[in-house]
Structure 1
Amino acid sequence: MVDLRFGRGLRVLRRRRGWRQADLALRAGISQSAVSRAELGRVGGLSVSALKTLADALGAQVDVRLRWQGERLDRLLDREHAALVEQFVRRLRQHQWEVAPEASFSIFGERGSVDVLAAHRPTGALLVVEVKSVIPDVQAMLVALDRKTRLAPAIAKDRGWPSTTVSKLLIVREARTARRRLAQHDATFRLVLPIRGRSIEAWLRRPRGVLAGLLFLSPTSHPGGGRRTRPESVGLRSNSRSG
């Protein structure tokens, strides 16, 4: 039934534009027979890429969702996310950081939550941590991280945490698919989040300057566990913001 509805949707959008199947095929760069099969709901032999191309030609989007035993898949994903958060919170506390997991905010009409907000009182360092068990839309993820970093001083102030610097860290669950996904945007991540590996651990112990980092972690049962990544010779930037 889902495939049939998908096909009917393509047909309705095509006719709305006054196109023939041949017109849509030309614009999408696929065969007319493929368009016909898709509109009949026979999508089994078509790639996801072809379906997305068809939808894009019609000004629509394809949203691929994986379902398993009702909401159990969501609970499994949430469990992985929670394990990563818990693991990193323990690591921060080992280094004398004050930590607020799932720090919610409502500032100037902007609402949301920070996966982990941490303050290092001796240095006035503030750290915004975004944790991802799966990689969503990369651009949206980076925009969200920047927004939370911008709002962090105000969020911290509400908690009585003064800040002199604001840093950001993206934590991603260790997996080959995640590494491949981020490798496709390597230039962007090396520009936006250049600090990696042991350089991050060193900064957590003695936060100097501003950190913008990316860290891969594997959920483990022991505090501070996780796969170590190869250190990169990237210097920390000197920058400060008043909280």
Structure 2
Amino acid sequence: MDSVRFGLSIRALRRRLRWTQDTLAHRARVSQSLIARVELGGADRVTPAVLRRICDAHGARLTIRVDWHGEALDRLLDADHASLVERVVRELQANGWRCLVEVTFAIGRERGSIDVLALHEATGTLLVVEVKSVIPDIQATLAALDRKVRLGPAIARDRGWRSERVATILVAAEGRTNRRRVQAVGATFATHLPARSAEARTFVEQPSGTIHGLWFLPISTQTTGRHRVGRSHAPSPA
């Protein structure tokens, strides 16, 4: 948690409500000196239960999140993600694509990983695939995908792949929740990822030109007959 930002947020909310620190302290059942300490960036020395009471007093919600290596922790917690990646790789390999999974990169100050990076050598098409079993944050997902597409050619060159064009597909697990989330921001998806599942499948089978699309796929439950795929990591600095 960013204690400084937390303190600034609490102060901004308190001032918006035109409360004094004493008023907030009374509502949160804490001392005025503790409120002052939190607003000055000392939230890291206060228990989560007390911080939650301070947030509750404003009608705000306290969220505590563990981050580790970007999106890597989410993948560890999400077995469905691995199954969906496996399904994507099978689809691509069956149609002549070379695939690498969990491709980590470090280009300047840009760091991260690509779920599936695929190359169709016959057409020189590079495909960046982002896989989501659940779409948690639409804007963050699209921003991350745009960044990976921008860096894709350089990442491919580092691995000896030559490409003439870059395509991108966001693969989401088939389900009502994901479809509702996409539908709720349909105009945004129409701008960033205008192609849909049928077009994405056609492109994978017969790549022509480029595509920016959204493909809903059911999560595979198969555990046998797995394809061997490469895992790629950022090259060590020379």
Q: Which range, TM-score by smaller chain?
A: 0.5 to 0.7
Once the two structures are superposed, residues 29-62 of structure 1 have per-residue CA deviations (whole angstroms, 9 ceiling, x without a partner) of: xxx9xx8997359xxxxxxxx969744xxxxx74
* In structure 2, distance between residues paired with 1:125 and 1:17: 50
What is the CA distance between 1:184 and its match in structure 2? 1.3
Residue 97 of structure 1 contacts residue 119 of structure 1 at CA under 8 Å; is this kept in 2? yes
* In structure 2, distance between residues paired with 1:75 and 1:168: 20
1:100 alignment partner, SS class: strand
1:129 alignment partner, SS class: strand
* In structure 2, distance between residues paired with 1:162 and 1:131: 23
Q: TM-score, normalised by structure 1?
A: 0.65
What is the CA distance between 1:150 and its match in structure 2? 0.4
Aligned to 1:221: 221
Q: TM-score, normalised by structure 2?
A: 0.66
Sequence identity, in percent?
Answer: 46
Matches within 5 A, 1:135-146: 135-146=135-146
Aligned to 1:45: none
Matches within 5 A, 1:174-189: 174-189=174-189
1:121 counterpart = 2:121: yes
What is the CA distance between 1:208 and its match in structure 2? 0.7
Aligned to 2:94: 94
What is the CA distance between 1:102 and its match in structure 2? 0.4
Residue 77 of structure 1 contacts residue 133 of structure 1 at CA under 8 Å; is this kept in 2? no
Structure 2 letter corresponding to 1:122: A
* In structure 2, distance between residues paired with 1:203 and 1:126: 12
Aligned to 2:169: 169
Aligned to 2:10: 13
What is the CA distance between 1:113 and its match in structure 2? 0.6
* In structure 1, distance between residues paired with 2:131 and 2:89: 11
What is the CA distance between 1:205 and its match in structure 2? 1.3
Residue 96 of structure 1 contacts residue 120 of structure 1 at CA under 8 Å; is this kept in 2? yes
Q: What is the count of residue pairs matched by the alignment?
A: 184
2:106 alignment partner, SS class: strand
Aligned to 1:39: 28
Structure 2 letter corresponding to 1:106: A
More relative contact order in 1 or in 2 (CA 8 Å, sep 6+)?
2
Which deviates more, 200-209 or 73-82?
Answer: 73-82
Aligned to 1:23: 18
Once the two structures are superposed, residues 85-127 of structure 1 have per-residue CA deviations (whole angstroms, 9 ceiling, x without a partner) of: 0110011000000000001111122111100000000000000
C-alpha change, 1:207 and 1:52, in structure 2 (3 Å) is: farther
Structure 1 letter corresponding to 2:179: R
* In structure 2, distance between residues paired with 1:91 and 1:52: 51
The answer for unaligned runs of 5 or more in structure 1 is: 1-8, 25-31, 42-49, 56-60, 66-72, 224-243
Give the superposed CA RMSD. Answer: 3.4
* In structure 2, distance between residues paired with 1:17 and 1:217: 42
Residue 75 of structure 2 contacts residue 82 of structure 2 at CA under 8 Å; is this kept in 1? no
C-alpha change, 1:204 and 1:36, in structure 2 (3 Å) is: same
Structure 2 letter corresponding to 1:39: A
What is the CA distance between 1:207 and its match in structure 2? 0.7
